[in-house]
């Protein structure tokens, strides 16, 4: 389960960066 938690944290970080990039491009 710890691996899943780690994955979720990384995924949230990735999505946050992605949203920032999208906002900047638009």
How does pLDDT run across 1-26, given as a tens digit for each residue? 799 999 999 999 999 999 999 999 87
Q: What is the pLDDT of residue 14?
A: 98
Indicate the number of domains in the chain. 1
**CA–CA distances in Å: residue 9 to residues 5, 15, 16:** 6, 10, 11
Length of the chain equals: 26
In this prediction the pTM is 0.57
Q: What is the DSSP string of the chain?
A: -HHHHHHHHHHHHHHHHHHHHHHHH-
Structural domain span for residue 3: 1-26
Q: What is the pLDDT of residue 21?
A: 95
Q: What is the pLDDT of residue 3?
A: 92
């Amino acid at each position: 389960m710890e691996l899943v938690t780690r994955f979720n944290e990384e995924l949230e970080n990735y999505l946050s960066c992605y949203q920032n990039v999208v906002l900047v491009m638009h």
